[in-house]
Amino acid sequence: MKDFQMAWRNLWRNKRRTLITAASVFFALFFSLVMRSFQLGAYDRLFKNVIESYTGYLQLQQKDYFDEAILDNSFAFDQGLADKMKTDPNVKDVVPRLESFALAAAESRTQGVIIMGIDPEGEDRVSGIRGKLVKFKLSPANIEALRAETLPERVKGLLDTYAGEYYASQGRLMLDLGISEEDTSTVLPLMRKHASFSNEYFSEKETGSVIIGSGLSDYLKINVGDTIVLTGQGYHGTSAAGKYRVMGIVKLPAPDIDNIIVYIPVTVAQELYAAPGMITSAVISVKANDDESVIKTAGRLEKMIPEPLVIREWHQLNALLVNQMEADNKSGAIMIGILYLVIAFGVFGTMLMMLAERRREFGMLVAIGMQKRKLAKVVSIEMLLIGLLGTAAGVVASLPFVIYGHIHPIRFTGELARMYEDYGFEPVMPTMLPDTFYLWQIVVVLIILLIAIAFSIRKIFKINVIEALRA
């Protein structure tokens, strides 16, 4: 106890030295926690955007479908099984899908396409297709009509740049055409008048219509109300052919998908492919989507389903994305490692400065009979207290930034916002609330501190009293 009291008093004999040393620890922890929180928050938002817009957190599949995605590996959809799965406390919905390929034709043009047989209402709850329906189109006729109106010159100048573009959101239209908030009251009514796009979504009894991607619409030169012919191979090698009316056009963020996607009611897809009652997967919507809850839910559902059905988790369904994020995460860890390396030199520098300043003091204490072991103990307690002060301050100072950044994430504007919206993501960068990464950052800082303490103890035990008194 006396050693602790002595160490505490020694800290405040030279406040400037103590504060400089504690500040080096403080800044190391503060910046690492805030940086890591932003990085993990961005990953979390990206995963949620991708998962919730397409694959879902869990899927029900036939065991061979994941390795060989063909219709022959589909399975009969049992509504009773779906209802049983919904009794799980973490399951919100079970949405069936029937996915396959076909050749789409309109007059003399053809294109290989993905046929996505969906439950219209269920799929809208999972991936929000209704919100991706095109609302505006800058066709040549629409642009000509807009030029005849009183528009800001900057807006008129951008009309030709974005000629032929489809827009599923008013916000993206405003970004591309440079429509300011002040001009919305005058410009947007004109946009709705001359550039609005007539679109429909599937009704409950829809049997002869499809919704296609805007890229496919442009390639096949077809619009709402036109006819598209689909031909392909059905279930167990049967032929598949059908003629459908285009009732809607969607604008998807991924051009590779937007150029080849055709949405069709799942019952119509089953008829087209001669696969009555069959589906290739069922997306399982969950309430709690953290990894632990998803894994536990998958384990409970596995016990409910018969062979040969299996539950696939989002990690398996998005293996490429997971690998990319892990690679990026490692690069982020390297950057934080470099930060720690720089800060470690700062900590060692301040420690060396303290030892150099107090060299005569240490020599005097040893000369009057203080054991080097006791001196090393007191100095170690001093440095540990300094480190704990810096660590506590870093954690406390970072919490307001991290919590505020989670509630009010950084919102991007301009080109960066447009890039995010191109991929269908909200242009924000949130932080992640304190989790295990907080503990690991504290552990790393304390390890640096312990190494510095060990170095200081070694220096104390090597003190030459005569030389120290002459310092």
pLDDT tens by residue, 260-309: 999 999 999 999 999 999 999 999 988 888 888 888 999 999 999 998 89
> What's the pLDDT at 418?
65
Q: From the CB of residue 456, how many other CB atoms can be counted at a distance below 10 Å?
A: 20
Task: Taking residues 438-444, report their average pLDDT.
Answer: 82
Using the Cα atoms of residue 152, residue 154, residue 160 and residue 162 in order, give the sign of their dihedral.
negative
CB neighbour list of residue 40: distance below 8 Å, 6 or more residues apart: 432, 435, 437
Look up tokens 């979390």; give the residue. Answer: 44
> What's the pLDDT at 289?
82
**Angle, CA of 226, 230 and 235, to the nearest 5°:** 150
pLDDT digits (tens, 9 = 90+) for 51-99: 776 778 899 999 999 888 889 999 998 889 989 999 999 999 899 999 9
**Angle, CA of 212, 129 and 59, to the nearest 5°:** 105
Cβ-contact 126, 93 below 8 angstroms: yes
pLDDT higher than threshold 80 for residue 248 = yes
pLDDT higher than threshold 90 for residue 420 = no
Tell me the pairing of strands 239-250 and 261-265: unpaired
pLDDT digits (tens, 9 = 90+) for 9-49: 777 777 787 787 788 788 878 888 888 888 888 877 777 77
Q: How far is CA 419 from CA 6, 413, 423, in A?
A: 59, 10, 7
pLDDT digits (tens, 9 = 90+) for 356-390: 777 787 778 778 877 888 878 888 888 888 888 88
pLDDT band at 206 (very low <50, low <70, confident <90, very high): confident
pLDDT band at 252 (very low <50, low <70, confident <90, very high): confident
d(CA 379, CA 399): 30
Q: What is the mean pLDDT of the chain?
A: 84
Kind and range of the H or E element at 362? helix 359-367
120: cis peptide before it, omega within 30°? no
CB neighbour list of residue 239: distance below 8 Å, 6 or more residues apart: 231, 233
Which is more confidently placed, 23 or 425?
23
Residues in the chain: 471
- pTM of the complete model: 0.71
pLDDT higher than threshold 90 for residue 210 = yes
> What's the pLDDT at 424?
59
pLDDT digits (tens, 9 = 90+) for 323-347: 777 777 777 778 777 777 877 777 7
d(CA 25, CA 183): 50
Cβ-contact 179, 148 below 8 angstroms: no
pLDDT higher than threshold 90 for residue 243 = yes
SS3 per residue for 207-249: CCEEEEEHHHHHHHCCCCCCEEEEEEECHHHCEEEEEEEEEEE
Which is more confidently placed, 320 or 117?
117
Backbone angles phi, psi at 464, to 5 degrees: -100, 115
Task: Taking residues 101-130, report their average pLDDT.
Answer: 90
Candidates 81, 79, 89, 84; CA nearest to 119 is 79
pLDDT higher than threshold 90 for residue 311 = yes
d(CA 226, CA 209): 10
The token duo for 215 is 């890229």
Which of 1-5, 139-143, 337-341 is the least confident region?
1-5
Backbone angles phi, psi at 23, to 5 degrees: -65, -35
pLDDT band at 154 (very low <50, low <70, confident <90, very high): confident
> What's the pLDDT at 45?
79
> What's the pLDDT at 49?
72
Go through 426-448 and write b for each residue having 16 or more CB atoms within 10 A of its CB, e for each that does not.
ebebbbbbbeeebeebbebbbeb
pLDDT band at 1 (very low <50, low <70, confident <90, very high): low
Q: From the CB of residue 109, how many other CB atoms can be counted at a distance below 10 Å?
A: 11
- E-strand stretches of 128-274: 136-137, 166-167, 209-213, 227-233, 239-250, 261-265
Task: Taking residues 130-143, report their average pLDDT.
Answer: 89
> What's the pLDDT at 216?
93
d(CA 245, CA 224): 8
The token duo for 216 is 């496919």
- DSSP of 335-355: HHHHHHHHHHHHHHHHHHHHH
Q: How far is CA 304 from CA 79, 88, 284, 433, in A?
A: 13, 10, 14, 34
Cβ-contact 36, 437 below 8 angstroms: yes
> What's the pLDDT at 414?
67
